[in-house]
Amino acid sequence: MDSNKTIRIGTRDSELALWQAHTVQKKLNDLGYKTEIIAVKSQGDILLDKPLYELGITGIFTKTLDIAMINGQVDIAVHSMKDVPTALPIGIVQAAVLERANTLDILVHKGNLDFLEGKGTIATGSLRRQAQWFHKYPNHTVVDLRGNVNTRMQKLNESDWSGAVFAAAGLERINLKPILTPALSEGEGENRSFSYINLDWMIPAPAQGAMLVVAMENDAFCKEAVAKLNHKETEICTQIERQFLKTLEGGCTAPIGALAKINSNEIHFVGNLFSIDGKEKLEIERTISLDNWTGFGKECANEILEKGGAGLMKTIKESLKK
């Protein structure tokens, strides 16, 4: 080990991103490496007035850190893996995937849940969440919600929305997750500030709940250091999900969900593609032997494409151009 080298860890400057960077820092420090954290503000955090898909950029949250790495300002970068484009920039490689946290989406809401039976307004900046919500609750309204986790919670608090959808992992990591909604009898619970319910019917984003560390391809020292943090099961599952995403979307932000889980020697996978309005749904659910996982995500995506996914993807891309 080069005892004099300090690994410079690049991160966005939101509370959640910093939590992720500090987690990686501690793991590297425990292994005897010297580190420092360098926080960079990303365009995705600055441009809050437009939905992400309208900006026409994949990887808007990662681009600033990619540039900082390529320019030699930082050595590695830590990301929520679901934010990272499936094709990394030339010269940057996946160095480690940390053990996955909670994969669920949750609905954070105020008061009771009567709106689920009638009219409701739900906030999310994700096309995937919007489409799956519309599929289950076609009478509801979905509004755009942008910003880091803290900003979104604040906007929900100041709004008259029924609720907003979040990744459970993000709220858990920075202790913002409210209490689980108890079974409320009529008229109870209106004064509670926030509660949540698990949306176990909603298929998460590919790689949701996982953290990714990237390094420069030619940096053998950092690659070797970071590789020690890799969690093999999470790496396999996220690779299947991202392969599914990459094969389907070809670089556009489409409503795609994917989740792979390893149970003993088997991998169970469920993946889906929705129309933006949630009316059309194409889904695949398969289990294979762990030995056969290479290419499995692509195989599942091709099956969706053959079942009508190719036409649906074309429609999605055209509607996002408008």
Question: What are the structure tokens assigned to 127, written together?
Answer: 């096309």
State yes or no: is 75 an active-site residue: no
Q: DSSP label at 116?
A: G
Q: What is the C-alpha separation between 23 and 18, in angstroms, rounded?
A: 8
Residue (of 55, 52, 85, 73) closest to 212 by Cα position: 85
Choosing from 83, 200, 219, 291, the catalytic residue is: 83
Exposure b/e, 221-233, CB count within 10 A at least 16 = b = ebbebbeebebee
Contacts of 274 (CB under 8 A, 6+ apart): 128, 131, 132, 135, 255, 256, 257, 280, 281, 282
Question: What are the structure tokens assigned to 119, written together?
Answer: 């009219």
Q: Are 106 and 196 in contact (CB under 8 A)?
A: yes
Q: What is the β-pairing status of strands 76-80 and 6-12?
A: parallel
Q: Are 88 and 110 in contact (CB under 8 A)?
A: no
Positions annotated as catalytic residues are 83
